[in-house]
Amino acid sequence: MNFTPTELGASVLFVIAVTHTFCTAYFEKLAAHSKRHSGLLHMLGEVEIVFGLWAAVLILFIWAIDGFASAKQYLNERNYTEPMFVFAIMVVAGSKPILDFATQILNWLSHGAHRLVRTEQSTALYFLTLSITPLLGSLITEPAAMTLAAFLLRDLVYRHQPSIPFMFGTLGVLFVNISIGGTLTNFAAPPVLMVANTWQWDNAFMLSNFGLKSCLAILLNSLIVSVLFRKNLVLLEVARLQQAQQASHAHKRTPISVTFIHLLFLCAIVAVAHDPVLFIWLLLFFIGYTVAYPKHQSPLILREALLVGFFLAGLVVLGKLQAWWLQPLLTQMSPSAVFYGSLALTAITDNAALTYLGSLVTGTSAEFKLALVGGAVAGGGLTVIANAPNPAGIAILRNYFPNAAVSATYLLLAALPPTLVAIAAYRLL
């Protein structure tokens, strides 16, 4: 296995960055007890900072051993379309008219489910949020679905100070369902998008090979967690009703015209997701529209979206130089080993980067390709870095966790059961 000093140094920094993501809660605890260095420690405790920080160290490392020109060239050669798109789609999908529209639809569906199966409306709404919204990701992309679901769950669950198991159990199912929920089409899930053109996978292929399996896994995961935490959801029913009453008195209904314009911006940005010039142009017009007509708006989540974009850009910079060990490792595996190997590797590297590296291997079988992508999406909920939309969910929900930090260890444990359901769906059906 041949590698350069730059590649070796990049891999060492990558391991440090991955380790850092598991230590963010520890840094937040230190920040609470240190007045002198609380600012620095708090920064180190924000998971969105991690990969951008160590990517900066990598650039300084390349500068030191190869010169400034090499470091600048390496940065300029990276493709930042995905981080930019996630930033844009988060801002639009997290706007008040879009969230109100999604809430109204889910409330209408939950009313029907409440009457049909005679369960509490909060339980029905919880189940639908964890099932319908991830599946919607196959149309509006996974980052947009994650943004919507995280805001909906924030209002339904997290802002009411639920128990720690409930918080992490919900987050684990959300991350896994979002990861597999974008596999019904060939453009919505980042790991699928990386290989769709190269392997000529169209929407019909995705639907026949992943669609039904993903739907069943999502519904089963949502049902299990809804039954498991039903008592918690019953306790939230009163709080949900009070919140709905307060909202109805405090806020006027968003006009249909405003909702339509927001949906139009959302669909337009999704349609040009591969062209950063166009979707950033649309985003600027969208921001201008919200400033011009502020009556039915709430503050846009620019800070949260920027942090997520920073995180993903850092992952792009650090991940590129991991090909020297990832690609040979994949080529030595059987299709079955590739599935479980990619699932495990996804936990420590972005699943889109993993499938991209696999697409560079020539002469692979159809079984190899299906196993690579299946493992990558099945493991997309195990860690914050496993799937590109995950940092978006963390950015929206983090402040509701103890010390405003999401424990990577607890997230891993919470995501394991729904991941096993996804594995069973992909391997047994």
Same domain for 64 and 210, yes or no, is no
Instruction: Read off the pLDDT of residues 294-341 as tens digits, 9 standing for 90 and up.
Output: 888 889 999 888 988 898 899 889 888 888 888 888 878 888 999 999
| Total tally of structural domains belonging to the chain | 2
Same domain for 342 and 415, yes or no, is yes
Same domain for 99 and 66, yes or no, is no
pLDDT of residue 71 exceeding 80: yes
Band of the pLDDT at 36, cuts 50, 70, 90?
A: confident
Same domain for 60 and 104, yes or no, is no
pLDDT of residue 74 exceeding 70: yes
Distance CA 276, CA 269 (A): 9
Instruction: Read off the pLDDT of residues 198-233 as tens digits, 9 standing for 90 and up.
Output: 899 999 999 999 999 999 999 999 999 999 998 888
pTM over 0.95: no
Any residues with CB less than 8 A from the CB of 372 and at least 6 apart, and which?
195, 330, 338, 339, 342, 354, 355, 358
> C-alpha angle with apex 384: 379 to 385, nearest 5 degrees?
75
Any residues with CB less than 8 A from the CB of 42 and at least 6 apart, and which?
27, 28, 31
Instruction: Read off the pLDDT of residues 77-136 as tens digits, 9 standing for 90 and up.
Output: 998 988 899 899 999 999 999 998 988 888 888 877 767 666 778 888 999 999 999 999
Same domain for 206 and 66, yes or no, is no
Q: At 391, which amino acid appears?
A: P
Same domain for 275 and 316, yes or no, is yes
Same domain for 183 and 63, yes or no, is no
Answer with the one of 76, 104, 139 that is the final residue of a domain: 76
Same domain for 62 and 158, yes or no, is no
Same domain for 85 and 64, yes or no, is no
* 3-state helix vs strand vs coil in the chain, percent to 5: 80, 0, 20
Q: What is the DSSP string of 271-303?
A: HTTT-HHHHHHHHHHHHHHHHHS-TT-----HH
Same domain for 187 and 217, yes or no, is yes
Answer with the one of 14, 49, 76 that is the final residue of a domain: 76
| Cα separation values, 198 from 48, 179, 208, 277, 346, Å | 31, 21, 19, 23, 20
Please tell me the total number of residues recorded for the chain in this structure: 429
Same domain for 90 and 37, yes or no, is no
Answer with the one of 60, 76, 92 that is the final residue of a domain: 76
Instruction: Read off the pLDDT of residues 348-389 as tens digits, 9 standing for 90 and up.
Output: 888 888 888 788 777 788 999 999 999 999 999 999 989 989
Q: Which domain holds residue 43?
A: 5-76
The predicted structure's pLDDT at residue 257: 92
Same domain for 110 and 26, yes or no, is no
pLDDT of residue 276 exceeding 90: yes
CA 425 to chain CA centroid, Å, is 21
Averaged confidence pLDDT in the chain: 89
The predicted structure's pLDDT at residue 244: 60
Q: What is the DSSP string of 363-400?
A: S--HHHHHHHHHHHHHTTTSSTTSSTTHHHHHHHHGGG
